[in-house]
Amino acid sequence: MIQSSIAAVANPFDGLTVERLRARTSAKWRHYPDDVLPAWVAEMDAVVAPEIVEAVQAALAEGDTGYPDWTSHPYAAALEDFARERWNWSFDPATTHQVTDVLTGVMEVIRSVAPVGDIVLTTPVYPPFFSIAEALGRQVVDAPLGPEGRIDLDSLDRALAEAASHGGMPTVILSSPHNPSGVVHTREELAGVANLARAHGALVVSDEIHAPLTMPGAQFIPYLSVPNSEPDFAVLSASKGWNLAGFKAAVVVPGATAADVTSALHRPGNHAGHLAVIAHTAAFENARPWLDAAIAGIDANRRALPGLLAQHLPSARCRLPEGTYLAWIDCTGLGLGDDPAAAFLETGRVALSSGVPFGKGGEGHVRINLATSPEILEEAITRMGRALPSRNGKATT
């Protein structure tokens, strides 16, 4: 019954009303009161790919709910096959390591490879990267993005020089595609990152969780496919591409000369869950058509976004994301201060991610989730418009 109803949905964002979504118990739909429309955290308003449902149901039916087998690599093998087909990139699954999630993988690589040294971040950037630095007791050095939201290699060069002057091995945590800007880094940009890392004796760990979600017209380049990245690492997952955040699992992929490090990443409690590995493997192996349908739905929403902003928030600015399902909106022209998300929440009753926790350059910005139905996206932007101050000092209606 569940499988047939899911399989009948061509666009995974169709047919999910706000009333139906409010029955979910995940953070997106339970964190705020029911009168708030959530468009913040990176969860999709989508049905699950039937291939994943079938794989998990089969495991449950067989009682296959124990520990994952750390000696086999079905998840990494499925990821490698996907990467070869979509990105023309290959790696040896036997050299990889499964971890609980991407952030755990990033943290454990840094802990093992660069036990001392600053963390360099291309700000504004995913807020949990700051939490990793704090948990490891490291100083953060900002390498601000350029005006178009792209990596500024001169900025990165200065940041790495500063970090290296403090001693230890600096680490660049790279967000690729970049969250929140939605930029898909070019081969030239990534090669520049690798060259600077080698020049400054630094480590690069590339968070590529959004890699499957590359929009039409852009091409994702795996960081480890560029020259000079051999001592570095990438961490990947099916989590964002197939909306599997509740099934925690990720794969650490070492560069060509870093394979011996992955054996040191096995720490108690940091392994992926067995059902999660089954779900993620099914995603990369069998649910590629579902991913393509999701990308088409996200692409339609991102193309509709400029018109919606022009209608309801004409002074806002937003570059269309090349990857991810997140859009970064510059609200500095709206007169809502450094944290416009607070005004949108209080007056418009729509929850967005505040730009402030993303670090330098995040002030006056919000991040909105595009992985939803066109109707919900339109309602979210309409509510945002209600928070704008009118000429008499009151919010518009």
241 vs 71 pLDDT, higher one: 241
Q: Categorize the per-residue pLDDT at 6 as very low, low, confident or very high, splitting at 50, 70 and 90.
A: very low
pLDDT one-digit tens code per residue, 339-351: 999 999 999 999 9
pLDDT band at 203 (very low <50, low <70, confident <90, very high): very high
- Asked whether this chain's domains 2-49+288-386 and 64-286 adopt the same fold, the reply is no
178 and 208 in contact (C-beta within 8 Å)? no
Q: Which of 3.40.190.10, 3.40.640.10, 3.40.50.300, 3.30.56.10 is the CATH number of 64-286? A: 3.40.640.10
On the CB side of 248, CA atoms within 13 Å amount to 12
- Lowest mean pLDDT segment, chosen from 168-182, 183-197, 376-390: 376-390
DSSP 8-class letter at 269? T
Return the domain boundaries, the chain: 2-49+288-386, 64-286
Span 242-261, average pLDDT = 95
Q: Residues with Cβ < 8 Å from 294, sequence gap 6 or more? A: 12, 13, 44, 46, 213, 241, 242, 371
Pairing type for strands 317-318 and 203-207 reads unpaired
Q: Are 152 and 146 in contact, with CB atoms under 8 Å apart? A: yes
Q: Give the CA-trace dihedral at 152, 159, 367, 391, to 10 degrees.
A: -90
Q: Provide the whole-model pTM.
A: 0.94
Question: Per-residue pLDDT tens for 135-181?
Answer: 999 999 999 999 899 999 999 999 999 999 999 999 999 999 999 99
| Among the four given CATH numbers 3.40.50.2020, 3.40.50.300, 3.40.50.1980, 3.90.1150.10, the one describing domain 2-49+288-386 | 3.90.1150.10
Backbone angles phi, psi at 327, to 5 degrees: -115, 135
Output b/e per residue, 299-311; b: 16+ Cβ within 10 A.
bebbeebeebbee
| pLDDT band at residue 18 using 50, 70 and 90 as cut-offs | very high
pLDDT at position 72 is 85
